[in-house]
Protein backbone atom coordinates (compact mmCIF):
# COMPACT_ATOMS: atom_id res chain seq x y z
CA UNK A 1 0.00 0.00 0.00
CA UNK A 2 1.23 3.49 -0.88
CA UNK A 3 0.40 6.39 1.42
CA UNK A 4 0.33 9.95 0.13
CA UNK A 5 0.08 12.88 2.53
CA UNK A 6 -1.07 15.94 0.63
CA UNK A 7 -0.15 19.06 2.60
CA UNK A 8 -1.95 22.27 1.80
CA UNK A 9 0.55 25.06 2.40
CA UNK A 10 0.63 27.10 5.59
CA UNK A 11 -0.56 30.72 5.72
CA UNK A 12 1.00 32.84 2.98
CA UNK A 13 1.49 36.57 2.53
CA UNK A 14 -1.30 37.62 0.15
CA UNK A 15 0.26 41.09 -0.20
CA UNK A 16 2.90 39.51 -2.48
CA UNK A 17 1.17 39.40 -5.84
CA UNK A 18 3.53 37.03 -7.66
CA UNK A 19 2.03 33.57 -6.99
CA UNK A 20 5.38 31.82 -7.51
CA UNK A 21 7.21 34.00 -5.00
CA UNK A 22 4.51 34.47 -2.33
CA UNK A 23 6.19 33.55 0.99
CA UNK A 24 4.75 32.21 4.20
CA UNK A 25 3.78 34.71 6.87
CA UNK A 26 5.37 34.58 10.31
CA UNK A 27 2.34 32.52 11.39
CA UNK A 28 2.85 30.24 8.39
CA UNK A 29 6.49 29.71 9.33
CA UNK A 30 5.43 28.75 12.85
CA UNK A 31 2.61 26.51 11.62
CA UNK A 32 4.83 24.52 9.28
CA UNK A 33 6.28 23.00 12.45
CA UNK A 34 2.90 21.28 12.83
CA UNK A 35 3.61 19.58 9.49
CA UNK A 36 7.10 18.59 10.66
CA UNK A 37 5.72 17.13 13.89
CA UNK A 38 2.98 15.25 12.06
CA UNK A 39 5.25 13.75 9.37
CA UNK A 40 8.06 12.85 11.78
CA UNK A 41 8.18 9.11 12.41
CA UNK A 42 6.01 8.27 9.40
CA UNK A 43 8.94 6.95 7.33
CA UNK A 44 8.43 9.40 4.48
CA UNK A 45 10.50 8.22 1.50
CA UNK A 46 10.14 11.30 -0.72
CA UNK A 47 8.92 14.88 -0.69
CA UNK A 48 7.28 16.63 -3.62
CA UNK A 49 5.89 20.11 -4.00
CA UNK A 50 4.35 22.61 -6.27
CA UNK A 51 7.12 24.98 -7.40
CA UNK A 52 5.44 27.87 -5.55
CA UNK A 53 7.55 29.17 -2.66
CA UNK A 54 4.78 28.91 -0.06
CA UNK A 55 4.30 25.20 -0.80
CA UNK A 56 8.02 24.36 -0.85
CA UNK A 57 8.59 26.31 2.35
CA UNK A 58 5.78 24.44 4.12
CA UNK A 59 7.79 21.21 3.76
CA UNK A 60 11.24 22.83 4.12
CA UNK A 61 11.54 22.41 7.89
CA UNK A 62 10.68 18.70 7.72
CA UNK A 63 12.94 18.22 4.68
CA UNK A 64 15.90 19.78 6.47
CA UNK A 65 15.39 17.71 9.62
CA UNK A 66 15.07 14.47 7.60
CA UNK A 67 17.81 15.26 5.07
CA UNK A 68 15.37 14.80 2.19
CA UNK A 69 15.20 17.05 -0.87
CA UNK A 70 11.90 18.68 -1.81
CA UNK A 71 11.39 17.73 -5.45
CA UNK A 72 9.30 20.31 -7.27
CA UNK A 73 6.84 19.26 -9.93
CA UNK A 74 5.34 21.96 -12.13
CA UNK A 75 2.07 20.06 -12.49
CA UNK A 76 1.38 20.24 -8.74
CA UNK A 77 1.04 24.04 -9.06
CA UNK A 78 -2.16 25.91 -8.28
CA UNK A 79 -4.72 27.07 -10.78
CA UNK A 80 -3.16 30.17 -12.37
CA UNK A 81 -6.18 32.44 -12.38
CA UNK A 82 -7.00 31.52 -8.82
CA UNK A 83 -3.50 32.32 -7.63
CA UNK A 84 -3.57 35.69 -9.36
CA UNK A 85 -7.03 36.72 -8.11
CA UNK A 86 -6.84 35.59 -4.49
CA UNK A 87 -7.99 37.10 -2.10
CA UNK A 88 -10.27 39.30 -4.22
CA UNK A 89 -13.83 39.69 -2.88
CA UNK A 90 -15.16 38.05 -6.06
CA UNK A 91 -13.02 34.96 -5.50
CA UNK A 92 -15.61 32.50 -4.18
CA UNK A 93 -18.44 33.35 -6.62
CA UNK A 94 -15.87 33.00 -9.42
CA UNK A 95 -14.63 29.65 -8.12
CA UNK A 96 -18.16 28.33 -7.68
CA UNK A 97 -18.57 28.46 -11.48
CA UNK A 98 -15.71 25.95 -11.80
CA UNK A 99 -17.42 23.54 -9.43
CA UNK A 100 -20.81 23.94 -11.11
CA UNK A 101 -19.31 23.22 -14.54
CA UNK A 102 -15.93 21.40 -14.41
CA UNK A 103 -15.33 22.31 -18.09
CA UNK A 104 -15.83 26.06 -17.43
CA UNK A 105 -12.88 28.37 -17.97
CA UNK A 106 -12.14 31.92 -18.97
CA UNK A 107 -9.76 32.72 -21.87
CA UNK A 108 -6.16 31.81 -21.04
CA UNK A 109 -7.32 29.72 -18.09
CA UNK A 110 -7.73 26.03 -17.34
CA UNK A 111 -10.92 24.29 -16.28
CA UNK A 112 -11.36 22.31 -13.08
CA UNK A 113 -11.16 19.16 -15.24
CA UNK A 114 -7.84 20.29 -16.72
CA UNK A 115 -6.47 21.24 -13.28
CA UNK A 116 -7.59 17.84 -12.01
CA UNK A 117 -6.05 15.92 -14.93
CA UNK A 118 -2.74 17.76 -14.58
CA UNK A 119 -2.47 17.03 -10.86
CA UNK A 120 -3.64 13.41 -11.09
CA UNK A 121 -1.23 12.72 -13.97
CA UNK A 122 1.80 13.78 -11.90
CA UNK A 123 0.41 12.00 -8.81
CA UNK A 124 0.24 8.77 -10.82
CA UNK A 125 3.91 9.19 -11.77
CA UNK A 126 4.74 9.52 -8.06
CA UNK A 127 2.71 6.38 -7.31
CA UNK A 128 4.64 4.46 -9.99
CA UNK A 129 7.99 5.66 -8.62
CA UNK A 130 7.25 4.93 -4.93
CA UNK A 131 5.06 1.82 -4.70
CA UNK A 132 4.46 0.69 -1.14
CA UNK A 133 6.13 3.81 0.27
CA UNK A 134 4.97 6.96 2.04
CA UNK A 135 5.35 10.31 0.29
CA UNK A 136 4.34 13.87 1.15
CA UNK A 137 3.26 16.44 -1.42
CA UNK A 138 2.91 20.17 -0.69
CA UNK A 139 0.13 21.73 -2.70
CA UNK A 140 -2.65 24.33 -2.80
CA UNK A 141 -6.34 24.55 -2.01
CA UNK A 142 -7.94 24.30 -5.44
CA UNK A 143 -5.36 21.82 -6.76
CA UNK A 144 -5.86 19.54 -3.76
CA UNK A 145 -9.64 19.86 -3.97
CA UNK A 146 -9.53 18.87 -7.64
CA UNK A 147 -7.54 15.74 -6.75
CA UNK A 148 -9.95 14.81 -3.96
CA UNK A 149 -12.93 15.34 -6.27
CA UNK A 150 -11.32 13.08 -8.88
CA UNK A 151 -11.09 10.19 -6.43
CA UNK A 152 -14.26 11.00 -4.49
CA UNK A 153 -17.00 12.71 -6.54
CA UNK A 154 -18.85 13.59 -3.32
CA UNK A 155 -16.07 16.09 -2.49
CA UNK A 156 -17.38 19.38 -3.86
CA UNK A 157 -17.55 23.13 -3.57
CA UNK A 158 -18.83 23.20 0.04
CA UNK A 159 -15.96 20.93 1.09
CA UNK A 160 -13.54 23.25 -0.69
CA UNK A 161 -15.01 26.25 1.18
CA UNK A 162 -14.51 24.49 4.51
CA UNK A 163 -10.95 23.43 3.70
CA UNK A 164 -9.66 26.82 2.50
CA UNK A 165 -10.00 28.22 6.00
CA UNK A 166 -7.46 25.71 7.35
CA UNK A 167 -3.75 26.25 6.80
CA UNK A 168 -1.86 24.00 6.89
CA UNK A 169 -4.18 21.10 6.16
CA UNK A 170 -3.13 17.49 5.58
CA UNK A 171 -5.09 14.75 3.91
CA UNK A 172 -4.02 11.11 3.76
CA UNK A 173 -4.72 9.15 0.56
CA UNK A 174 -4.01 5.44 0.25
CA UNK A 175 -3.45 3.45 -2.93
CA UNK A 176 -2.73 -0.09 -4.04
CA UNK A 177 -0.72 0.56 -7.18
CA UNK A 178 -2.80 3.27 -8.86
CA UNK A 179 -6.03 1.97 -7.36
CA UNK A 180 -7.44 4.48 -4.89
CA UNK A 181 -8.38 2.92 -1.55
CA UNK A 182 -9.57 5.94 0.43
CA UNK A 183 -8.77 9.25 2.07
CA UNK A 184 -9.05 10.91 5.44
CA UNK A 185 -8.40 14.49 6.54
CA UNK A 186 -5.85 15.37 9.21
CA UNK A 187 -6.54 18.80 10.67
CA UNK A 188 -3.34 20.25 12.13
CA UNK A 189 -4.61 23.76 12.68
CA UNK A 190 -8.07 25.16 13.29
CA UNK A 191 -9.29 28.25 11.38
59 pLDDT above the threshold of 70? yes
Distance in angstroms (rounded) separating the CA atoms of residues 171 and 123: 14
pLDDT at site 131: 98
Residues near 71 by beta carbon (within 8 Å), at least 6 away in sequence? 46, 47, 48, 49
pLDDT digit string, tens, across residues 10-27: 999 989 988 899 999 999
CB 32 within 8 A of CB 9: no
pLDDT at site 3: 98
pLDDT at site 83: 46
Residue (of 122, 98, 121, 123) closest to 111 by Cα position? 98
pLDDT at site 189: 59
pLDDT digit string, tens, across residues 104-113: 988 778 999 9
Distance in angstroms (rounded) separating the CA atoms of residues 191 and 168: 10
CB 25 within 8 A of CB 13: yes
| β-bridge pairing 134-139 and 2-8 | parallel
| β-bridge pairing 44-49 and 134-139 | parallel
76 pLDDT above the threshold of 70? yes
Mean pLDDT of the chain: 91
Q: Worst-scoring range by mean pLDDT, 124-128, 144-148, 171-175, 184-188? A: 184-188
Amino acid sequence: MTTVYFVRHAQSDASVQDPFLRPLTEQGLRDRRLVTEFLSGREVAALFSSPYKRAVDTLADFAEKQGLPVQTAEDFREHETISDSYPDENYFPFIQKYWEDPAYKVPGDESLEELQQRNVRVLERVLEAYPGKTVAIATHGMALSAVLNFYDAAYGYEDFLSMVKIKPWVVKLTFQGKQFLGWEPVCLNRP
